[in-house]
Amino acid sequence: MSAKAGGLLRARNFALLWIGESASAVGSAVTSVAFPLVAVSVLHAGPGAVALLTVFTWLPWLLFGLVVGVWVDRWPRRPTLLVADLVSATVLIGVPVAAWTGVLTMPILLAAALLAGVSGIFFSVAFNAFLPHLVPAGDLMEGIAKLQTSASVALVAGPALGGLLAQVAGAVSGVLIDAFTFLLSAACLLGLRPAPEPRRERAAAGLLGQIAEGIRFIVRGRLLQAMLVVATAANFAMLGITALRVVFLVRTGGLAPGTAGIAIGLGSLGGILGAALATRVATRFGSARTYVVASVATAPFTLLLPFGGPGWGLVLFTAGSFVTLGGGTMASVMTMTFRGTFVPAHLLGRVTAASRIFVFGSVPLGAATAGFLATTLGTRTALWVLAALYAVTPLPLLATSAGKVRDFPTRE
């Protein structure tokens, strides 16, 4: 582990990667609020249409996730990251341009969400496969924890900034900021000086054979299977909640957009705490134990979210978000470190994609379900259903090997 003050941030390559990814995380957090606010305030969309934005953002994982995993394992990963950043920037710049010229419609906004989701797949898979190449195995948990910390900071600053920008300069201004952060991320990637990536021999198996190879690795690992099932169900519920939270706080709760953004941001402070403590807690208690306890003990706090509204309702919503995100972020650090140190490097892109096609592929289903429930039962009732599902989802982990050992295994 890096022992000096600042740790990995003293290493030039990781510092540049961290700066670019942190800036992009802030921009994406702004857009997570700005896109729904554009739909609500500019296009006057209802809760079902707003939920569709989340569906279209994550639907590409279901459509292309496995194929992207194979391509990432074939291609050099840093150029893949660069192209993904530039495509995302171009797509997002088009949204404010369409709004300013008076041609923006809900189909155009949904198309932008879909295209940004496609480029996001390439970046996500390539980034998770590139990080273990850039960071030594002994420092991987620290690196992931630092990236998760900055991502959690972004979740605090981004929604608040997005809400305030919507009031001051219009919701589309937040989308433009996100586009510029992707350009900054690309510039940081250009400044890296990593060791040459290992040459990848042309695989004997075809596309389907290589996809199957990544899936087989997960199927043969009982612990990977269990973690994948729990993560998929949890993401289904949580991203359904995320798809509704802005319209719930603004329309059902009667809060101003700026207040809603600040509430979401304050709740996200829990993610900062969870990421900051992850390495220290795992060192003392073990990575597997930390993962199980962080998942099971904090999930029931989602039941505070449907109380959201003025006064004490806002306090309960913020507190529920704080604890839930704290535990979820700590568990995420453990999961990503386990995958990075256990999965062979030549399979990492495919295993990551195969895992995330379920975890992230559940997002459009969760968002679509959230939209349906909100339309038929009301937004608050929809949140109750999704929060209850999230609260019980991690319980099966207690019966797995993760609940019986101190640390996760690593590859030989």
Instruction: List per-residue pLDDT tens for the chain, 412 residues long.
Output: 444 545 778 888 888 988 988 888 888 877 777 888 888 877 887 777 887 887 788 788 778 877 887 788 778 888 999 999 999 999 999 998 998 888 888 899 999 989 988 998 888 888 888 888 788 777 888 888 888 888 777 766 776 677 777 667 777 877 888 889 899 999 999 988 876 666 554 554 566 677 777 777 777 777 888 888 898 899 899 988 888 888 888 877 777 777 787 788 788 788 888 888 888 898 899 888 999 999 999 999 999 999 887 888 889 999 999 999 899 989 988 988 888 788 776 777 777 777 877 777 777 788 788 888 988 998 889 999 999 999 999 998 888 888 788 888 776 5
The pLDDT of residue 127 is: 85
Using an 8 Å Cβ cutoff, are 233 and 362 in contact? Answer: yes
For residue 367, which of 267, 235, 195, 182 has the smallest C-alpha distance?
235
Q: Which fold has domain 12-191+205-403?
A: Growth Hormone; Chain: A; (1.20.1250)
pLDDT score at 199: 57
**Distance from chain centroid for Cα 121:** 11
Determine contact, residues 243/109, Cβ cutoff 8 Å. Answer: no
Question: Taking a C-beta distance cutoff of 8 angstroms, is the pair 73, 353 a contact?
Answer: no
Residue among 343, 346, 348, 389 nearest 366 (CA): 389
- pLDDT the model gives residue 21: 87
Q: What's the pLDDT at 22?
A: 86
Give pTM, 2 decimals: 0.70
- Rounded Cα–Cα distance for residues 80 and 62 (Å): 20
- How many Å apart are CA 320 and CA 102, to the nearest integer? 39
The Cα 51–Cα 241 span in angstroms is 10
